[in-house]
Structure 1
Amino acid sequence: MIRGYMIGKIAKDLGLEASRLSALPELKDISYDESNSKLTSYLIISLVSVSTFFLTFIIVILAERFSRRRKPRLLFDGAVAIPSAYLPPNYAEIQFSTHWWCYKTQMPFSCGKDWKRMGHKEISVTGLVYCVALFLLTLHSVCGDVSYSFPEEMKRGSVIGNIAKDLGIDVRRLSARKARVDTEGNRKRYCDINLSTGDFIVAERIDREGLCGEKVSCALKFEFVLEDPLELHRITLQIQDVNDNTPIFPKESIKLEISELAVKGARFRVNAAHDADIGQNAVQNYMLQRNGHFVLNVQTNTVGSKYGELVLDKELDREEQRELKLLLTAVDGGSPQRSGTAVIHVTVLDANDNAPVFSQAVYKASLPENSPLDIVVASVSATDADEGVNGEVMYEFSRISDIARKLFALDQTTGEIRLIGEIDYEEEAKHEIIIEGKDGYGLSSDTKAIIDITDINDNAPEIYLKSLSNPIPENASPGTEVGIINVQDRDSENNRQVRCSIQQNVPFKLVPSIKNYYSLVTTGELDRELVSDYNITIAATDEGSPPLSSSKTIQLSVADVNDNPPVFEEQSYSAHVTENNQPGSSVCSVTARDPDWRQNGTVIYSLLPGEVNGVPVSSFLSVNGDTGVIHAVRSFDYEQFRSFKVQVVARDNGSPPLSSNITVSVFITDVNDNSPQILYPAPERNSFMTELVPKAVHGGSLVSKVIAVDADSGQNAWLSYHIVKSTDPGLFTIGLHSGEIRTRRDISESDSMKQNLIVAVKDNGQPSLSATCAMYLVISDNLAEVPELKDISHDESNSKLTSYLIISLVSVSTFFLTFIIVILAVRFCRKRKPRQFFDGAVAIPSAYIPPNYAEVDGAGTLRSTYNYDAYLTTGSRTSDFKFVRSYNDNTLPADQTLRKTPTDFAEELNDSEGSAEIQFSTHLCCYKARVPFSCGKGWRRCFDVLIPQWGTKDFRSQSWSAALHSFFLH
């Protein structure tokens, strides 16, 4: 409808009446030139014939090749197979088939430059979820004491009592509340708790004597700690003494010197036995071996210890007996009863009737810990009223603990007690020693020395981390308890008073709770993106003089929480894409950052669902979820739409995920991809437009107009008009941008009546595109003068078709002739190639043929045919052999065996002399050889290899005989 309107408008502009146009003769049925039509037909027939013949020739060649490949590959004809002894040493994977008498090797593909190949025809990581138990802001402490009494020396795991039941605590909550037993001072752990049952059990063997010595009361104190909420219970364990120690005398031999003048009833004290046990388990009695002079009287001294006295029951007579040996036994009161013995050596002397007397019943001394060695701690003194030797007093320890024996020494003459070891108040605060004074003839007495150790501030506080929630989530609220700190000082009184503090400026503080326990709590908001780790240094200082301090550093990590959404680097993104782009090409890239950690900071990109001109946005663009690169899914057309917008979503991998959006504006850039479209004259197939031009038209008159449009825009749609061919170049001109066809001059009588114009319409793109049209003008004043128009012009498309057919025919014929020449050249070259030693699907370089082996010449035939394929091992230039079944009529059945003796072999060789027949199979790269068996100089040839003649020196030296003999027997 538009075209008709424009044609009518043009006719009106030219001053032509519609009736005159309609009066033009019908021009659709104007035929093509007959000669051109016949030429085109001949070209088509020739092209089809040559192409058909060429394709038929190729099919025949391929069929012949295929049939050759299916034929069995033959290497040689011979009656004897090559023995396995002569296969090269590195040939592997040999399978021997007795049924078909063949070797078969299959190796990996490997070939050097001289070989031919052959072979037989295959984020999101689930993160850790940090579950952190939040402690109550207010610690509710429940304290209580419980006491147990338990005998010493019980084995590990013995149950003392059920602490959970005694304190009314749910057993199932012990593990959750991190129940534990702490020993004050962090000494050896003697007891522990069974979290499954709540039993208070023995963790280490308890020795009451080692812990408490001779103290009547021996108790261990523990702290039972529970968390969430924090509870502290004191446990006192009274250690009951058991009779596990035997009475021991200070010396195994006790020497007494008694005057023979001693009267009946005289008493002589002997050294008391020491029993580390207490109470009833200590020494309860002494027994003396029956004798004729002494009886035993058991006494109790001022400190409650029992000792024995020898009572003279019958006077001594030095002339009758100068010494006596008596066995003294000390027994305790435990069950079972334990005893210890000592031998008393009695030497009969003159009388000594005065025992030494100490100046004090008890000596006391005070000694600060860490005192220097070899100082005098105390001095004891005793006097004896006797004179001479009987009045000389000697001092010695009568009873002393093992610890005190390592710390103190006694001067036997002066009675001075000196320090010989380092003393520590925290180990033992008091030492009690029994000292005995004895005169020269055995009379003695004892006294007690008590040495008190005074404390000095020599122990710095010790910091213990009892509990720590690490890592702590960054969204923990202020006041959240992170850990529990316990501070202990082994000193006493003011020396053990401790203050704790945090040194750095960190969002944490220490809150005192129960007796040297502190809670580490947060004081502000945490942000892992700002600070991910804290090194918290806790300092503890005591109240001693001078004060001592210590510190402990706690490393605390902040666990990430998905609290930051991805943030794009730009506020918006723009992308310019040239139309007709390749699908899959990159449009632009968006980038978003997430400061969170691991999966919380992993950003995944996607397109927000939407539509562009009613079509889903996913059909236009796609985004790489990992990189943010946006790709075009389809090719864009500027003429359809010039721009559109999409929303890109950046989402992290947290739980719950956070996301943010960004707008990406895509602008399509126009390219010159549309040729001008001519609207008038309208191009119609097999027809042409003719216009009537009056003869009286003057120069510059409008004759006609070419109307064209271009779907591109801008300079790509800026059209220009040119007359590229005309019957009379000087008669008509066309407006460069208007397309108006005007006369250059007045029309004269000499001008041809039929005027043909070829008009080209070009756009201004890079490169420029164009379209052409033909206009046929008839110079006449009326239709009667219009001549026959069938010779005006041939159809251009007919001329082009003829050119195309000629080019195609020449190309196909040339290629066909070239192909035949190449085939003939290849055949000729192959026939002129030298005969190779053998080729069994792989070529074997002559460099690898063993020395003295020659090519086969002569005449003769063999009765057996064997086939082999050679495969190469990786990294090897040698070939392996594959012997396949024989194809002749003499192949043995599976239930028979092939045996040949050397004599048979020699006969066959003698019968098969003549010339060799070598057949070459090009498509299988194999030789089929019928080989002669007489080579001269002691050799016989077989299977493209040389075999020494039977019985010659070379045969024996090269072990051919053994190899062939083994081969024939098999």
Structure 2
Amino acid sequence: MHFQEKHLLLQLIVLHSAWLMGSGQLHYSVPEESQHGTFVGRIAQDLGLEVDELMPRMFRMESEDHGDSFEVNVQNGILFVNSRIDREELCAKSPLCAVHLEVIVDKPLRVFHVEVEIKDINDNSPVFLESKQSLSVAELMLPGTRFPLKAASDADVGVNAQLKYKLNSTEYFVVEEKINDQQSVSLALVLNKPLDREKIPVHRLVLTATDGGQPELTGTVHLEITVMDANDNAPVFNQSVYKVKLLENVADGTLVIHLNATDLDEGTNKEITYSFSNNVPSNIFSIQSDTGEIRVKGKVDFEEINMYNVEIEAKDRGSPPLSGHCTILIEILDVNDNAPEMSLKSMLVPLPEDSSPGSVVALISISDRDSGSNGQVSCSLWPTGLPFKLVPTFKNYYSLVLAELVDREQVAEYGLVVVAQDQGVPSLSASSSLVVPISDVNDNAPAFAQPFYTVFVKENNPPGAHIFTMSASDPDVAENALVSYWLDEKLWSLSSYISVHSESGKIYALQSLDYEEMKLLEFQVRAKDAGLPSLCSNVTVQVFVLVVPVMAGHLVSKIHALDADSGYNAWLRYELHELTSGPWQVGLYSGEISTRRALNEAEGSSSHSLLVLVKDHGKPPRSVTTTLSVSLVANTQMFHDDVHLPRMGGGSGPLVDNVNIYLIIAICSVSSLFLLAVILYVAQRFQRQAEETMVYGPGTATLVCASEVGSWSYSNRHSHILAGVSGEAGAKSDLMVFSPNIPVFAENGDVGIMTEVVPNSSGQVSLYYSFQFISHLGPGIPAQNTT
């Protein structure tokens, strides 16, 4: 019979579970004390999952407090009891006892809620607080007088805790049970027949309590009733049941109720003392024995006990003493003294930046021990505006899901605070922080800083020379941002001319470039990251080959010295010191410095210091020296498909017209300055006739005029006096013209390059500007020469 009942119970459980599938929750039940392996339900089948997909989808079950009570066989999808469950230990006297489980599967991620109800079995016998109870009863008591007894308790619930009481055979007493409106049982011994102390002074009875379980369990207590003589009036309360409401957490000493019982006797038989007659916690309440005041003694906590049933005994001082009894029902009112409790479990951290909206990031469960509105909890996210939202799943369970797309390159990490707040007054809250880092996905291609690059390279470069460095940036991280470079050779092969280092992006010229053979190299460089799949971008690079021809007889500069003497003593000649001649020569009387022969590559890329000696023809001859620094660099000529430059000295065009205009301006300026210099010279001669001697010394170039057109200064570094010189020396202007906005420096402050006006073979005049710019970048770095 027991096997059939168990089989029927399991069938009812399965049917009830199938009925609950529509609500998103499975409900099973199992008796307490079930052995290990007891069948609970076919959870995989009830959830709509195939048994063979449990392991691939990482089927797992979690419980916040009772994770080892149940287990699932992933081979057949059956939920079974894993360890012994004691319902009384788990849920005490709660009528409904259930264990909440979370079932989680991946691919896709889903969460199911399962509730397993623990059914009570009759495994606890009724128990009396004491094995023996003693009563004193006056012989003058009338039939129907009630004497409260301490009832038995049963740890079970429901039918298994419904107790029936029975006395052994006696004609003087019967047992009476009363259930009040609070479903509390009051047990009393009722006098059924007047007592005669002289006939039976002591009544010894056995009270048996029987529960309603199957099989029935019993408990007994021995009653010893002593019949007392004389005092025949017991104290009486004005009502048998008092109801009191008390807020939890009230201060110690708070008055609960003031009792008042009356006794019709006189003298000591009328004096009453009050006491607790049942097992009231002595650390919660206290009673003043002479006044009947009941006060709070300890902590009153609604979450522990929300109702107290207190039995009060009022006993007089007669001999024998008589007593009256009443019941106090103390209802504890809830106060919002418990903040919500939160459990947060991360599921998808870090979050890939390509995750789709709706992806579950974390699971959140919330509980509050308070009741009513004090226990109603709402959940929210802070700060607002983040790409996440909370989705309620079941009761106080939430899922933190992705609400919109995220981009790691814009925000690499999100800091969230989940706030749970109850509805009490004042409201209490709890919060939990969660950091959601965003993992990188290769969604950005490398990017160059410019749409194209232009590189200038001197011809006859050494093979393998580094000519440029490419650089592309990628906002991704790790291997997704690791950039490599290579040449795009789809149009034509460049492997014999150019190579690109795959890691550094450095571009090398594999062979010596010749301007006459190739003026322009145009190619594309690609940058590719190391992500999967990889992304790439390209950029166009234009390499222009530059040439600087240096021919024999090329006029470089002019040295002009002045002598204050006259006649033969002022006739000057110029010579180069023999140690500094090399490929250079100087006009004997003109002071013009020019190239003796064509410069080779080594000479053309270096700096030269020339020591010029100037002598007069006096006797004895006097001389002076000056140092001229010359740096030769390549003349940059840029060639483009849409730009054509005319050749100097032949044909006509806009450039030649502009040069002629500049030449006319320069000649007019020189003539004006020369006239001004003559006037100044005449004035100074008249001013210094009285001076016996003249002192000449070295000096720096004096600035005559500076404007947006250019700057003019005297080229003689050794005289402060301007004078007209006849002959060949006077035919040349000593004025030097420098280009606007281009600083002109030389080592140790010398000016080494000046403007030349040279007639060509056709009789036309060409104006050449040669400039030397020596920039010292720092120790160990060669100076940059710009012409």
TM-score, normalised with respect to structure 2: 0.54
1:143 to partner: Cα distance: 1.7
Are 2:641 and 1:765 equivalent residues in the alignment?
no
Q: 1:365 aligns with which of 208, 232, 244?
A: 244
Determine the C-alpha separation between the residues in 1 that align with 2:141 and 2:104.
Answer: 72
Match of 1:417 in 2: 294
Contact 2:150 2:187 in 1 (8 A): no
Q: Whole-Å Cα distance in 1 between the matches of residues 145 and 238 of structure 2?
A: 24
After TM superposition, the structure 1 stretch with the greater mean CA deviation from structure 2, 559-568 or 197-206, is 197-206
Offset at 1:431? Answer: 3.0
Q: Which of the residues 448, 465, 473 maps onto 2:352?
A: 473
2:254 to 359, 375, 381: 375
Tell me, yes or no, if the aligned pair for 1:269 and 1:443 is still in contact at 8 Å.
Answer: no
Q: What residue number does 2:738 align with? A: none
8 Å CA contact 2:148, 2:325 repeated in 1:
no
Q: 2:453 matched to which residue of 1?
A: 572
Provide the residue aligned with 1:300 in structure 2.
Answer: 176
**Equivalent residue runs for 1:486-525 within 5 Å:** 486-508=365-387, 510=389, 513-514=392-393, 515-516=395-396, 520-522=400-402, 524-525=404-405
Distance 2:423 2:542 in 1: 73
The residue correspondences of 1:393-542 to structure 2 (distance < 5 A) are: 393-400=272-279, 406-438=283-315, 441=320, 446-465=325-344, 468-476=347-355, 482-483=361-362, 485-508=364-387, 510=389, 513-514=392-393, 515-516=395-396, 520-522=400-402, 524-542=404-422
The verdict on how the C-alpha distance between 1:258 and 1:493 changes in structure 2, with shifts beyond 3 A counting, is closer
**Counterpart among 696, 715, 724 of residue 550 in structure 2:** 715
| Closer/same/farther in 2, CA of residues 167 and 382 from structure 1, 3 Å limit | farther
Q: What does residue range 942-961 of structure 1 map to in structure 2 within 5 Å?
A: none
Q: What SS is found at the alignment partner of 1:715?
A: coil
Question: Structure 1: any 5+ residue segments left out of the alignment?
Answer: 1-140, 671-712, 720-760, 770-970
Aligned: 1:581 with 2:462 = yes
In the alignment, which of 502, 509, 513 is matched to residue 625 of structure 1?
502
**Contact 1:485 1:517 (C-alpha < 8 Å) held by counterparts:** yes
Contact 1:601–1:653 (Cα < 8 Å) also in 2: yes
Which among 481, 487, 501 is matched to residue 601 of structure 1?
Answer: 481
CA offset at residue 458 of structure 1?
Answer: 3.3
Q: Determine the structure 2 residue equivalent to 1:561.
A: 441
Indicate yes or no: 2:229 matched with 1:350. yes
After TM superposition, give the deviation of residue 455 of structure 1 in Å. Answer: 2.6
Match status 1:657 vs 2:534: yes
Deviations for 1:176-231, whole angstroms, at most 9, x for unmatched residues?
Answer: 5987677xxx8888966648435275778444377453x7x344474867797977
Is the Cα–Cα contact under 8 Å of residues 149 and 187 in structure 2 kept in the other structure?
Answer: no
User: Are the counterparts in 2 of residues 249 and 341 from structure 1 also a CA contact under 8 Å?
Assistant: no
* Contact 2:125-2:218 at 8 Å conserved across structures: no
1:527 positional shift: 2.2
Deviation at 1:411, TM superposition (A): 3.8
Counterpart AA for 1:587: I
* C-alpha distance in 2 between matches for 1:383 and 1:243: 45
Match of 2:522 in 1: 645
The DSSP-based 3-state class of the residue aligned with 1:378 is strand
Q: How many angstroms apart in 2 are the aligned matches of 1:646 and 1:637?
A: 18
Q: Distance in 2 between matches of 1:361 and 1:260?
A: 23
Deviation of residue 621 (structure 1)?
3.6
- Decide which moves more: 648-657 or 145-154: 145-154
Paired amino acid for 1:359: N
Asked if 1 retains the 8 angstrom alpha-carbon contact of 2:210 and 2:219, the reply is no
Q: Partners of 1:308 and 1:191 in 2: how far apart?
A: 45
Q: CA deviation at 1:644?
A: 2.6
Larger radius of gyration: 1
Q: How far 1:424 sits from its partner (Å)? A: 3.2
**3-state SS, counterpart of residue 243 of structure 1:** coil
Q: How do 1:201-212 and structure 2 match up within 5 A?
A: 201=81, 205-208=85-88, 211-212=91-92
Larger mean CA deviation between 568-577 and 253-262 belongs to: 253-262
Q: Distance in 2 between matches of 1:267 and 1:661?
A: 104
Q: Kindly state the Cα deviation for residue 399 of structure 1 after the two structures are TM-superposed.
A: 4.0
Instruction: Return the alpha-carbon distance in structure 1 between the equivalents of residues 133 and 42 of structure 2.
Output: 51
Distance 1:530 1:258, change over 3 A: closer
Amino acid at match of 1:628: G
Letter in 1 for 2:349: N
Secondary structure of the equivalent of 1:600? helix
Cα distance change on mapping 1:600 and 1:579 into 2, 3 Å: same
Check whether the contact 1:208–1:218 (CA below 8 A) recurs between aligned residues.
no
The count of aligned residue pairs is 528
Write the letter of the residue equivalent to 1:765: N
Distance 2:331 2:143 in 1: 44
Deviation at 1:340, TM superposition (A): 6.2
Amino acid at match of 2:246: L
Say what the alpha-carbon RMSD is for the aligned residues.
5.0
* Structure 2 runs not aligned, ≥5 long: 1-20, 180-184, 555-595, 605-787
Evaluate the alpha carbon distance shift between residue 174 and residue 409 of structure 1 in structure 2; reply closer, same or farther with a 3 A threshold.
Answer: farther
Q: Tell me if structure 2 keeps the 8 A contact 1:254–1:343.
A: yes
How far, CA to CA, are the matches of 2:552 and 2:80 in structure 1?
98
Q: In structure 2, how many angstroms separate the alpha carbons of the residues matched to 1:362 and 1:398?
A: 14
Q: Structure 1 residues 553 and 766, CA, compared in 2 at 3 Å: closer, same or farther?
A: same
Secondary structure of the equivalent of 2:441?
coil
Equivalent residue, structure 1, for 2:642: none
Relative contact order, CA 8 A, sep 6+: which one is greater?
A: 1
Shift of 1:281: 5.2
Distance 1:492 1:650, change over 3 A: same
Contact 2:31-2:120 at 8 Å conserved across structures: yes
Q: Is the 8 A contact 2:120 2:156 kept in 1?
A: no
